[in-house]
């Protein structure tokens, strides 16, 4: 048995020992839910942990384990679990009704708060997910420009909408007309959709300039996550977003920021943080105070398409759009996000980054710690191992680290998102548990994923 096999067996056995009820529920669920799941992102081998409740910084699973939670429902719970102010706003609204086939004042109040904070927003509409927000922003861009094609970044995630479910090849790399088309990331995406999508590498403004200039007459918009959050954090180089702004403006193509995650990095999102204002913005997650939400908005002349004509030029219906429960929670959530709250979140994020970087360095490992404001991630080296077996070994080590942390009472998979109710004590606990895990993993890492070992510096010999 290899060192990795031995480690996997030990960690998975411990996980199974701690979570028998989760396993039972997962197995039973498979009779009615494909794979026992209803959300791709929560699938986890050998099986996911089933939760019973959350409070503050902690989740409590069905086996009675308490888990310090750094995932905060995929970054959306910026005030942690079951924040009392949010619970009472939701409770109060629920007693008055959960939805009407009619508008209500809280929609305009939440829209106003967003417009006051997020620089690109002159008008906003609500929907029910970040996926829908991107879908509608793209539709608005197509309707406004009368052009069909969009540019997205290779490997960027914008939700499960077939118009954006494409990855490379980065067809602009040589500035010529694409020969290979981007490939769908899901079955069921119509082949014809690829005709409307170009992909380019993130953080490469030359590629954007070449492609946008060449295809300007067919392009409606460039869609970008200001910070890439898929498989770790990728923060843009200085000037990249400003360059995208300039290229799109010069070529009369719209710029859409997908701020579904990045809205949490500053009061006005990444566009505020970087001082680059797109034409349209897609949002979700923190906007709903923990309830399902999406929002999109931007320039008034574009957004007016949703209200011009009868029926409107761009109809946008939705039974649950702007529902009162989500609006009530969203208002409280944003009101709690004062400048002091953002300062606290950023300071905590920096502390988490520094603590994790110290642990990784002390253990002689080559994980990258990437961070921006309240988002932090412990990533595999960006340059993947050339040897596929070593690359697979590194990915498996990463999965086992998550599992070993769960065994130690910490949920820290993927992107870590600190919340307003966290403090240094929670971060210290994660750092110390991670130190223990990495020390235990050293032999398996050396054997199965040496790419994760930091190269030893040559020691200067005295002359």
Report the interface residues with ligand PLP, using CB under 6 A: 74, 129-131, 134, 157-159, 225, 229, 258, 260-261, 284
For residue 147, what are its two tokens? 């052009």
Minimum CB distance to ligand PLP, residue 224 (Å): 10
The nearer residue to ligand PLP, 233 or 394, going by C-beta atoms, is 233
Cis amide bond preceding 169, omega within 30: yes
The nearer residue to ligand PLP, 279 or 433, going by C-beta atoms, is 279
Report the 3 state secondary structure along 405-452: HHHCCEECCCCEECCCCCCHHHHHHHHHHHHHHHHHHHHHHHHHCHHH
Burial track 35-69 (b if 16+ CB lie within 10 A, e otherwise): ebbeeeeeeeeebbbbbeebebbbbebbbebebbb
Has 285 been annotated as catalytic?
yes
Residue pair 254/145 in contact (Cβ under 8 Å)? The answer is: yes
> Out of 47, 50, 157, 351, which one is annotated catalytic?
157
Separation between Cα atoms, residue 140 and residue 130, nearest integer Å: 15
Q: What angle do CA 33, 99, 161 make, to 5 degrees?
A: 45
Minimum CB distance to ligand PLP, residue 377 (Å): 13
Longest dimension (CA), the chain: 86
Closest CA to 260 of 114, 142, 155, 134: 134
The nearer residue to ligand PLP, 157 or 367, going by C-beta atoms, is 157
How many residues would you count in the chain?
463
Residue the block writes with tokens 């002349």: 301
Has 204 been annotated as catalytic?
no
Identify the DSSP state of 299. -
> Out of 15, 285, 351, 402, which one is annotated catalytic?
285
The nearer residue to ligand PLP, 130 or 322, going by C-beta atoms, is 130
Minimum CB distance to ligand PLP, residue 318 (Å): 14
The nearer residue to ligand PLP, 50 or 157, going by C-beta atoms, is 157
Minimum CB distance to ligand PLP, residue 292 (Å): 7
Minimum CB distance to ligand PLP, residue 230 (Å): 7
Minimum CB distance to ligand PLP, residue 296 (Å): 11
Q: Sheet with 375-379: list strands edge to edge.
A: 368-372, 375-379, 416-417
Minimum CB distance to ligand PLP, residue 411 (Å): 17
Residue pair 211/172 in contact (Cβ under 8 Å)? The answer is: yes
Comparing every residue's Cβ against ligand PLP, the nearest one is 130
Has 258 been annotated as catalytic?
yes
The CA-atom distances, in angstroms, between 398 and each of 12, 103, 379, 393, 449 are: 14, 47, 8, 9, 10
The nearer residue to ligand PLP, 165 or 258, going by C-beta atoms, is 258
The nearer residue to ligand PLP, 42 or 214, going by C-beta atoms, is 42
Residue pair 2/445 in contact (Cβ under 8 Å)? The answer is: no
Which burial class, exposed, middle or buried, applies to 128 when counting CB atoms under 10 A from its CB (0-12, 13-18, 19+)? buried
> Out of 171, 258, 272, 279, which one is annotated catalytic?
258
Separation between Cα atoms, residue 244 and residue 354, nearest integer Å: 31
Q: What residues are annotated to the active site?
A: 157, 258, 285
């Amino acid at each position: 048995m290899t060192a990795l096999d031995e480690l996997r067996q030990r960690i998975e056995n411990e996980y199974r020992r701690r979570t028998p009820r989760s396993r039972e529920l997962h197995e039973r669920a498979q009779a009615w839910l494909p794979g026992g799941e209803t959300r791709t992102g929560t699938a986890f081998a050998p099986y996911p942990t089933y939760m019973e409740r959350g409070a503050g910084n902690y989740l409590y699973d069905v086996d009675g384990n308490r888990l310090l939670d750094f995932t905060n429902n995929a970054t959306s719970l910026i005030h942690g679990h079951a924040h009392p102010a949010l619970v009472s706003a939701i409770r109060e609204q629920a007693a008055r009704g959960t939805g009407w086939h009619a508008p209500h004042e809280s929609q305009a109040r939440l829209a106003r708060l967003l417009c006051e904070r997020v620089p690109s927003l002159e008008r906003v509409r609500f929907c029910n997910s970040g996926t829908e927000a991107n879908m509608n922003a793209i539709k608005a861009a197509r309707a406004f420009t009368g052009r069909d094609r969009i540019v997205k970044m290779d490997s960027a995630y914008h939700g499960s909408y077939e118009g954006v479910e494409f990855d490379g090849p980065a067809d602009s790399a040589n500035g010529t007309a694409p020969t290979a088309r981007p490939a769908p990331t899901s079955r069921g995406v119509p082949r014809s959709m690829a005709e409307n999508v170009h992909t380019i590498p993130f953080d490469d403004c030359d590629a954007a300039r070449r492609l946008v200039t060449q295809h300007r007459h067919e392009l409606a918009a460039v869609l970008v996550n200001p910070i890439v959050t898929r498989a770790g954090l990728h923060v843009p180089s200085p000037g990249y977003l400003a360059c995208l702004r300039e290229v799109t403006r010069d070529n009369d193509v719209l710029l859409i920021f997908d701020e579904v995650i990045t809205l949490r990095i500053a009061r006005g999102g990444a566009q505020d943080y970087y001082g680059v204002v797109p034409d349209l913005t897609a949002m979700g997650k923190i906007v709903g105070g923990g309830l399902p939400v999406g929002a999109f908005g931007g320039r008034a002349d574009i957004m007016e398409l949703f209200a011009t004509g009868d029926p409107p030029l761009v109809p946008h219906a939705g039974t649950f759009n702007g529902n009162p429960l989500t609006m009530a929670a969203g208002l409280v959530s944003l009101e709690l996000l004062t400048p002091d709250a953002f300062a606290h979140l950023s300071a905590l994020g920096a502390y988490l980054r520094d603590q994790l970087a110290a642990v990784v360095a002390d253990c002689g490992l080559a994980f990258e710690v990437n961070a921006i404001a309240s988002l932090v991630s412990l990533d595999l080296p960006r340059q993947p191992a050339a040897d596929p077996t070593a690359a697979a070994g590194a990915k498996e080590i990463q999965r086992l680290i998550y599992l070993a942390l769960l065994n130690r009472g910490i949920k820290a998979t993927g992107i870590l998102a600190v919340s307003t109710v966290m403090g240094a004590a929670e971060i210290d606990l994660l750092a110390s548990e991670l130190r223990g895990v990495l020390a235990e993993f050293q032999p398996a890492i050396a054997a199965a994923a040496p790419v994760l070992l930091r190269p030893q510096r040559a020691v200067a010999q005295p002359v």
